[in-house]
Amino acid sequence: MFFQTVKDSLINNVLGPAEAGRFQTVGFQRQVKAAEMTLDNLRTAQVFYIGGTFPKSAGRNSGSVQHDVQFRVEFVVSKGTQLDLDVINDPDADNADRALALSELQEASDLADESMDDLFSIVWNILMDANNYDMGLPVGDVASRWIDAFRKDQPVPRGEYVILTGSLTLSLRVNEAIEGDTGVEANSIKGSLEIQGDPNNNTGVEVIPDEET
């Protein structure tokens, strides 16, 4: 269906080519990968089709139907921390040591939060750029582009990193062609079925497999 074409274009024609070292688009085929990576340019964006509606008022029995689609672009950012988990988990640690460890966690969380805000701003501007209204497809293939929402989750410590996830919701309107189902040619079945108590009343069935190619 056409929404699959739109998703592919979002990855390979819109987000991927606009990365410029600021983030990475999951699924985008890069020609060259940088030898040195930092946590910031390892932050990622990933596109998912999450659903759509087919307004009956804009539908028909043949030709094409309107599909109001929604995509979710999910983000992951991370920041390094000097958090000492042994101190946090040590019941004998004094308050000063525990407070210092927690301050490291808070600082990394703040940095991750700023990184997420920056990533959202970058991707929002890419998707809302007038040059990308058609999402890298021929003019008229998509319409009603809009970013409906942005959401952030809570920072989560993972060893020496703090991970923060978030997402935005992108809405578009496309037409889906009704191509019909070509189906699969059925095999012919041959055999016999004996009805108990009536040996003269047999039902014939024939099975002819497809020819091998």
Cα separation of 4 and 16, whole Å?
A: 16
Q: What is residue 186's predicted lDDT score, i.e. its pLDDT?
A: 63
- Tens of pLDDT, residue by residue over 161-170, are 888 999 999 9
Q: What is the CA radius of gyration of the chain?
A: 28
In sequence order, the 6+-apart residues with CB closer than 8 A to the CB of 185 are: 210
* Alpha helices in the chain, H assignment, sequence order: 2-9, 85-89, 95-128
Q: Is 28 helix (H, G, I), strand (E, B) or coil?
A: coil
Residue 23 · residue 198 · CB < 8 Å: no
Percent of the chain with pLDDT over 70: 70
Residue 55 · residue 144 · CB < 8 Å: no
pTM of the model: 0.74
pLDDT band at 207 (very low <50, low <70, confident <90, very high): low
- Tens of pLDDT, residue by residue over 78-121, are 888 766 566 666 677 777 766 776 777 788 889 999 999 999 99
Q: Is 48 helix (H, G, I), strand (E, B) or coil?
A: strand
- Tens of pLDDT, residue by residue over 180-190, are 777 667 665 55
Which tokens in the block code for residue 155? 């920072």
Cα separation of 142 and 153, whole Å?
A: 30
Q: What is residue 158's predicted lDDT score, i.e. its pLDDT?
A: 79
Q: What is residue 64's predicted lDDT score, i.e. its pLDDT?
A: 80
Where on the phi/psi map is residue 205: left (φ > 0), alpha (ψ -120 to 50), or beta? beta
Q: Is 52 helix (H, G, I), strand (E, B) or coil?
A: strand
- Tens of pLDDT, residue by residue over 42-63, are 799 999 999 998 887 765 666 6
Mean pLDDT, rounded, of the chain = 81
Q: Which helix (H) or strand (E) element contains residue 127? A: helix 95-128
Lowest mean pLDDT among 40-49, 140-149, 194-203: 194-203
In the chain, where the domains are located? 2-184
